[in-house]
Amino acid sequence: MNIPLNATPDARRFFTDRHATYVRFIRAMRYPQGLRAFFLGSPLVRSGLRILDAGCGTGALTLAVHEAFVRQGCAPEALHAFDLTPAMLDRLRETLRRRGINSVELAEANVLHLDGLPPSWGLRSRCLGVDVGVRAA
């Protein structure tokens, strides 16, 4: 039974029950490869940045950014990632462990309710919007 990504209003349940479907979809679209290519050639990658991957899912963006920093011989000040779904975070944790990456801090949180993020991440709990991208600290 194939369930379209918009078939349920409960994203947490969908990505918990069907995270393998999402993984197959992003691989088929070559999403991880596109992100990797973008960040490897990006002038945005430089030491001292604080990076937050909001709604990190399987970590395609987190992993691409981490690889770009390693290859360019620099390090972010912080690399944080959060997701609503424990199953996605568990999958990303396992990937990070397998690759020997211990510089990424993960948390479970809802992008609409950022109160659950660690205070050390320096985010205010009342946000009017989400700024997606990389910016200097």
The CATH number given to whatever domain includes residue 35 is 3.40.50.150
Q: What is the pLDDT of residue 91?
A: 93
> Which residue range is the domain that position 25 belongs to?
11-114
Q: Which residues contact 52 (CB under 8 A, 6 or more apart)?
A: 80, 81, 82, 121, 123
22 contacts 58 by C-beta, under 8 angstroms: yes
Domains in the chain: how many in total?
Answer: 1
Q: What is the pLDDT of residue 137?
A: 45
In a domain, 79, yes or no: yes
In a domain, 2, yes or no: no
pLDDT tier, 17 (very low <50, low <70, confident <90, very high otherwise): confident
In a domain, 121, yes or no: no
Phi and psi at residue 132, to the nearest 5°: -95, 125
pLDDT at 110 over 80: yes
In a domain, 6, yes or no: no
In a domain, 95, yes or no: yes
In a domain, 29, yes or no: yes
Tens digit of pLDDT for each residue in 57-74?
Answer: 999 999 999 999 999 999
In a domain, 125, yes or no: no
117 contacts 84 by C-beta, under 8 angstroms: no
pLDDT at 18 over 50: yes
Give the angle 32-55-102 at the CA atoms, nearest 5°. Answer: 70
Q: What is the pLDDT of residue 33?
A: 92
How confident is the model over 99-105, as a mean pLDDT? 96
